[in-house]
Amino acid sequence: MSKWLRFAAVAIALVGATLITTPKALAQNAPRYMVSAVDLEIAPAQLDKFLEALRENGASTIKEPGCRQYDILQLTSDPNQIHIYEVYENEAAVQAHRATDHFKKYLATTKDMVVKRQSRPMVSVATYSKPR
């Protein structure tokens, strides 16, 4: 009986340790993507040309190996306010994106169309999405 109690105590301790450390271990192993959130104010007369250049850049960017998501958003109350939400696997993928010809073309094409720009680099903490 004594061996059984020791075995049960060890088993309970192992299960308890697993339950305590598993969420922490999962959180540490979750991918931490590099996120770029960019807010732009576009000159009203340039909006259509800007969006055309941005869509072209986005279509090329999402094909890059390290890019996981590229969203272009427009404020409903002010269509000249554009938000870009980009997700990359790591910093190397961000730097590779910035070195592409299509990104350099986008910057050169749109440089005089942007009235105001604010970029906020972030790292993902958790991501949730539904399958399409």
Q: What is the pLDDT of residues 60-74, one digit of tens each?
A: 999 999 999 999 999
Give pTM, 2 decimals.
Answer: 0.75
Kindly state whether residues 68 and 12 are assigned to the same domain: no
Kindly state whether residues 110 and 47 are assigned to the same domain: yes
Q: What is the pLDDT of residues 33-60, one digit of tens each?
A: 999 999 999 999 999 999 999 999 999 9
Q: Supply the pLDDT for residue 40.
A: 98
- For the residues 80-104, what does the mean pLDDT come to? 97
pLDDT at 79 over 70: yes
The parent domain of residue 100 ranges over 34-123
Q: By percentage, how much of the chain surpasses pLDDT 90?
A: 70
* Cα–Cα distance for residue pair 42/113, rounded to 1 Å: 6
Kindly state whether residues 58 and 117 are assigned to the same domain: yes
pLDDT at 31 over 60: yes
Residue 68 lies in a domain: yes
Kindly state whether residues 20 and 52 are assigned to the same domain: no
Kindly state whether residues 44 and 95 are assigned to the same domain: yes
Kindly state whether residues 21 and 41 are assigned to the same domain: no
Q: Supply the pLDDT for residue 5.
A: 52
Residues 6+ apart with CB under 8 A from 49: 109, 113
Residues 6+ apart with CB under 8 A from 23: none
Kindly state whether residues 40 and 22 are assigned to the same domain: no
Average pLDDT, the chain: 86
Q: Supply the pLDDT for residue 7.
A: 53
**CATH number of the domain encompassing residue 44:** 3.30.70.100
Give the angle subtended at the CA of 51 by the CAs of 113 and 96, to the nearest 5°.
Answer: 85
Q: Supply the pLDDT for residue 28.
A: 52
